[in-house]
Copies of this chain bind each other. A is one copy, B any other.
Amino acid sequence: MEQTATKVSVTELEDFCHAALRKCGVEEAGARLSANVLVTTDAFGVFTHGTKLLRGYVRRLQAGGIRADAVPRVEREGPAWAILDGQSGLGMVTSVLAMNKAIEKAKTAGVGYAGARNSCHFGAAGYYALMAARADMIGLAMANDYPSMAVLGARKAVLGTNPFAYAVPAGREPPIFLDIASSTVAGGKVRIAQMHRETVPDTWMVDTNGVPTTNPFLYPHAAFLLPFAGHKGYGLAMMIEHLAGILTGTGAMYDLVNWVDHDPSLATHHGGAFLAFNVAAITSLDAFKDRVDQLIRDIHETPKADGVDRLYVPGEMEWDRHRRAVAQGIDLPEDVVASLRELAELLDIAAPWLGKG
């Protein structure tokens, strides 16, 4: 099914998200930065993890599962690490605080790890990794989630589609970055197939018999995503379960609550892990950046197969979209528009670009 697009500027969209969060009682700074996380993700073209998620966050904010008045706090810390308790506030607020803490630790110790417990779903992991890159550090960001991913042979989900992201600062080029789910695809892609009433490839999910299925409507109650590359995606998700879930004390697997489908008055207990490597502490920052730029050029100049115009480094497609979004506005797909329109009505927010004055 063809998607019709609605055009909106980055500023208008951020103001809209900010207004929605403020109407739910979120304080000014938290509303502003959460809006920035979601809109930046849309600007990268990752519409499954951008402003479309706001409707679900608002549902939990209104029911109390996400606490609008939460003040995340550093629970304990050491020379190169900290554990933060998100106090069941917005995942974006807790995660930005945690990555800033990892960066702060890396400034003095060279490397910093910040774990977040009692967080919530944090949008797209890549945003937090890029915070480190903006501080001239290599950044890693990951989170666990309620189980929706099986392994081959299982009739039930065992782990979340735990996301993993990293970013590397370059010199003349924008940061290299990658943001991936541990599953073949993110759950949001199955929800899009539901919306379009399309089947999905049989490598995406298994049903409750542990058998591959192409029916998107079985998800998430009676079908479970599969990890990418079999044991590799499963293994990555398992690592994240430990760094983001068990090490932070938030828990793992079914200790969490499903932020989309479960009672919105319940705290979700997501965990996050954030790492920063302070390049300048470890080596010459200029030499590092020059070498990263050179690597990017080497990839670009690699001989290409017939019909291939360009070889991309990780994140480059997203930066291309981001530049267009900032210059020309974001073309929001219809499912995102529908979700935002629902919010505009619910919270009575003026948004001319949604046809609501």
Q: Which residues of A contact B (CB under 8 A)?
A: 78-81, 83, 105, 108-113, 115, 138, 151, 153-156, 158, 166, 168, 176, 178, 180, 184, 206, 209-211, 228-229, 231-236, 238-239, 241-243, 246-249, 251-254, 277, 279, 281-283, 287-288, 291-292, 295, 298-299, 302-306, 308, 311, 313-314
With both chains docked as a complex, state the minimum distance between the C-beta of A155 and any C-beta of chain B, in angstroms: 4
Given contacts A178-B239, A283-B247, contact A295 B253 (CB under 8 A): yes
A-B contact sample (19 more), CB < 8 A, given A111-B112, A154-B305, A228-B228: A78-B109, A78-B281, A80-B111, A154-B302, A155-B302, A155-B303, A155-B304, A156-B303, A158-B311, A168-B239, A176-B238, A178-B239, A180-B232, A180-B235, A228-B232, A241-B295, A246-B295, A249-B283, A253-B298
**Copies of this chain held together in the complex:** 2
Among B115, B158, B283, B303, the residue within 8 A (CB) of A298 is B158
Contacts of A283 in B (CB 8 A): 83, 247-249
Q: Which residue of B lies closest to A169 (CB)?
A: B242
Contacts of A242 in B (CB 8 A): 138, 168, 176, 292
Contacts of A303 in B (CB 8 A): 154-156, 210
Q: Are A306 and B209 in contact (CB under 8 A)?
A: yes
Q: Are A243 and B138 in contact (CB under 8 A)?
A: yes
Q: Are B83 and A80 in contact (CB under 8 A)?
A: no
**A258, B20: Cα distance in complex, Å:** 56
Given contacts A238-B314, A314-B235, contact A156 B302 (CB under 8 A): yes
With both chains docked as a complex, state the minimum distance between the C-beta of A318 and any C-beta of chain B, in angstroms: 11
**A176, B248: Cα distance in complex, Å:** 18
Given contacts A115-B282, A166-B239, contact A291 B246 (CB under 8 A): yes
With both chains docked as a complex, state the minimum distance between the C-beta of A343 and any C-beta of chain B, in angstroms: 32
Contacts of A232 in B (CB 8 A): 178, 180, 228-229, 233
With both chains docked as a complex, state the minimum distance between the C-beta of A102 and any C-beta of chain B, in angstroms: 10
**A72, B178: Cα distance in complex, Å:** 33
Q: Are A110 and B78 in contact (CB under 8 A)?
A: yes
Q: Closest 5 CB pairs between A and B? A: A210-B305, A178-B235, A80-B80, A153-B308, A80-B109
**A356, B175: Cα distance in complex, Å:** 57
**A115, B246: Cα distance in complex, Å:** 26
Contacts of A251 in B (CB 8 A): 291
Q: Which residue of B lies closest to A178 (CB)?
A: B235
With both chains docked as a complex, state the minimum distance between the C-beta of A166 and any C-beta of chain B, in angstroms: 5
